[in-house]
Structure 1
Amino acid sequence: MNPHTLHAPRAPGDIRQHPTGAARLGPELLLAVAAERLRAARPELAARADLTTPQGLLDARAALTADEEGDPAGSPLVVAVIGRFDLPRWVAETCRFALALPREPAATWRRAFTRTVFLAGRPDNLTERFTFDHMAEDGSTAWAGPAPQETTTALRRLLKTLDASRELSAWSPVTVEVPGAPPEGAARPPVHRDLCIATARVTVSQLLVQVNHLLVEAVLDQLIAPGDRLTLRAVPRLTGPAVPFAALRVDADPRRAHQLRAYAGLTEEI
Structure 2
Amino acid sequence: MSPHSPAPPTGPPGADALLSAAAERVRAARPEFAGRDLSTPAALRAVRAEIAALDAADPAGAPLAVCVVGDLDLPSWARESCRFALAVDPAAGAAWRRAFTRTVFLAGRPANLRDRFAFDHVADDATAAWAGPAPEPATAGLRRLLKTFDGARAARPWPPAVVEVPGAGPRPPVHREVYAATAQVTVARLLVHLNHLLAEAVLDGLIAPGDRLTLRSVPRLAGVTVPFAALRIDTDAQRPDGLQALAGLTEER
TM-score in same-fold range (> 0.5): yes
Deviation at 1:232, TM superposition (A): 0.7
Q: Could you list the structure 1 runs, at least 4 aligned residues long, displaced by more than 4 angstroms after superposition.
A: none
2:12 is matched with 24
- How far the C-alpha of 1:31 sits from its partner, in A, is 0.7
Q: Quick one: which of 172, 181, 186 aligns to 1:189?
A: 172
Query: 1:25-174 alignment to 2 at 5 Å?
Result: 25-47=13-35, 49-174=36-161
- When normalised by structure 2's length, the TM-score is 0.93
Cα-to-partner distance string for 1:200-226 (whole Å, 9 max, x where unaligned): 111110111111011011111111111
Task: Quote the offset at 1:55 in angstroms.
Answer: 0.9
- 1-side partners of 2:237 and 2:226: how far apart? 28
CA offset at residue 68 of structure 1? 2.1
TM-fit CA distance, 1:38:
0.5
Residue 8 of structure 1 is matched in structure 2 by 7
Q: State the one-letter code of the partner of 1:195.
A: V
Please tell me whether the aligned partners of residues 69 and 105 of structure 2 are also in contact (alpha carbons under 8 angstroms). Answer: yes
Aligned pairs, number: 249
**AA in 2 matched with 1:115:** R
- Gap regions ≥5 residues in structure 1: 1-5, 10-14, 17-22
Give the superposition deviation at 1:72: 4.3
CA positional deviation for 1:8 = 3.4
Following superposition, the deviation at residue 256 of structure 1 comes to 2.2
Give identity over the alignment, percent.
61
TM-score (norm 1): 0.87
For the aligned residue pairs, the C-alpha RMSD in angstroms reads: 1.6
- Whether the 8 Å CA contact 1:180–1:226 is kept in 2: the answer is yes
